[in-house]
Structure 1
């Protein structure tokens, strides 16, 4: 599939150099998996997009409008990835944002080859890149992703598939591109609270909802690096690659991860 882009509903190859998303990272984005032309878990993605726009005081694009854009980009037989970006458009003097301005960018991309297979188990070490704390932006998938860019570069240099990241207070947040879940010896699940830094992914929310519907004990809380030694299993998830077992973390094997990941996939798909 060739990449295709709609900007405010028009097929174009570029955005204006004055776009505030380019100049200041003034915008948000979401990445949606497309299966047979349909956006997977679209209501969850739309809910997160609305939350993100609200946090930045951006006008939220109409859901029907976004759905129409996706239908124009993907045929009924297409599998792929749709990236939706909402920026504050062009205008305003310096940092001062214009009122009511918004630009809608919807792009179609091919599905990565690894996305159609069960993800390989991950071995995670700690990234040297720390996520800065900003409660106002916690959970928001905004366009300022330099911390993740630097962390991904570090993984590439070290030959690592991924790494876990802490915030500036030292608590575990996520991997460079996935949300994290842990399970302890009593069968209780734990996931980092996204209150100071990090992204609240749609797959994270879906999995949390599925667990709670089954009355599974799940704690959303601050997790210190020292506590990682007490978990017997872990998984990492995002919307494109799905759920991956964490085989090792900081060099320590997690024997319960494969079974935990298989179970999590089953309740997410049911």
Structure 2
């Protein structure tokens, strides 16, 4: 498997310095981007969140971030994925440094770009509520931090062992925050579209923002608000992220919802149009 690392094409095995703080301490940020036929979807939005995360960590943004679409196009060709859907990951760490937590005052960031084939899962996702909690004030809930996914990983593992597809993470107050790698939305019986607030621990997801913006066009009033697990049980639920788009979901063993599917389909169609537009953008963005 080929990767792009700090301006060079490498094989993935042995590519990272053993002293890299991203590997040792999770000191960095990343983005996962949907790629179709070598084209990046919504790269400007992903780049903005990645730059925000790096600024939070006080890691300089590598100039090569501007070249990511071209890097991914070439990586698609090299990996035989130029005619397929794929998942790109752009990872930026602080780079190598001495042992210990204290970050070196001059950073030489490591930037790694990799690409893998992917296919969207089929059918509604079956969900269970995790016993693990997502701390709503954590810095790592605002961007994709390299070291910020341990609880998510363990929650997903427990959900799969319980026969579900994903887990719902609640925050320290017991309110819904997100799924393990997706934002969560609920269409209530009265036709309102709600999703957890950022301050409840929700990731400011790229697709989340697009869905909120598209809601008025399909006749939905969207709101970011605190959501209980009971609200999830009583409404039409769907998950969003860059690789799945919009995916219907419901609590494991719960019956299908009686309302909301028509609105969900309309939102999904709106998102597909925005996705198609993003994939046909010209220029470096």
Does the alignment reach a TM-score above 0.5? yes
8 Å contact from structure 1 (residues 131, 198) kept in 2: no
Q: Distance in 1 between matches of 2:224 and 2:178?
A: 13
Deviations 1:160-211 (A, max 9, x none): 1112110122110111121111112221110001225342221112212222
Aligned to 2:169: 165
Where in structure 1 do 4 or more consecutive aligned residues deviate above 6 Å? none
- Using the TM superposition, name which of 212-221 and 189-198 deviates more: 212-221
Structure 1: tracts of 5 or more residues without a match: none
Q: Which residue, out of 94, 97, 101, partners 1:95? A: 101
Q: Distance in 1 between matches of 2:265 and 2:25?
A: 41
Q: Distance in 1 between matches of 2:155 and 2:174?
A: 16
Q: Distance in 2 between matches of 1:92 and 1:207?
A: 43
State yes or no: 1:82 paired with 2:85: no
Residue 82 (structure 1) shift = 0.6
Residue 268 (structure 1) shift = 0.7
8 Å contact from structure 1 (residues 141, 200) kept in 2: no
Q: Give runs of aligned pairs for residues 197-208 of structure 1, distance below 5 A.
A: 197-208=201-212
State yes or no: 1:269 paired with 2:279: no
Q: Give runs of aligned pairs for residues 246-257 of structure 1, distance below 5 A.
A: 246-248=249-251, 251=254, 253-257=256-260
Deviations 1:218-255 (A, max 9, x none): 111221224335x4312111111221112446836422
Aligned to 1:152: 156
8 Å contact from structure 2 (residues 135, 172) kept in 1: yes
Give SS of 1:16's match: coil
Give SS of 2:198's match: coil
Structure 2: tracts of 5 or more residues without a match: 274-285
8 Å contact from structure 2 (residues 134, 171) kept in 1: yes
RMSD: 2.2
Q: Distance in 2 between matches of 1:156 and 1:175?
A: 13
Q: Which residue, out of 137, 142, 146, partners 1:139? A: 142
How has the CA–CA distance of structure 1 residues 22 and 257 changed in structure 2, closer, same or farther, with 3 Å as cutoff? farther
Q: Distance in 1 between matches of 2:266 and 2:91?
A: 33
Q: Distance in 2 between matches of 1:267 and 1:15?
A: 40
Q: Distance in 1 between matches of 2:126 and 2:164?
A: 8
- TM-score, normalised by the number of residues in structure 1: 0.88
Aligned to 1:71: 73
How has the CA–CA distance of structure 1 residues 198 and 189 changed in structure 2, closer, same or farther, with 3 Å as cutoff? closer
Give SS of 2:266's match: helix
8 Å contact from structure 1 (residues 162, 176) kept in 2: yes
State yes or no: 1:48 paired with 2:49: yes
Q: Distance in 1 between matches of 2:50 and 2:242?
A: 14
Q: Distance in 2 between matches of 1:203 and 1:234?
A: 15
- TM-score, normalised by the number of residues in structure 2: 0.84
How has the CA–CA distance of structure 1 residues 239 and 264 changed in structure 2, closer, same or farther, with 3 Å as cutoff? same
Give the paired residue count.
Answer: 263
8 Å contact from structure 1 (residues 21, 143) kept in 2: yes
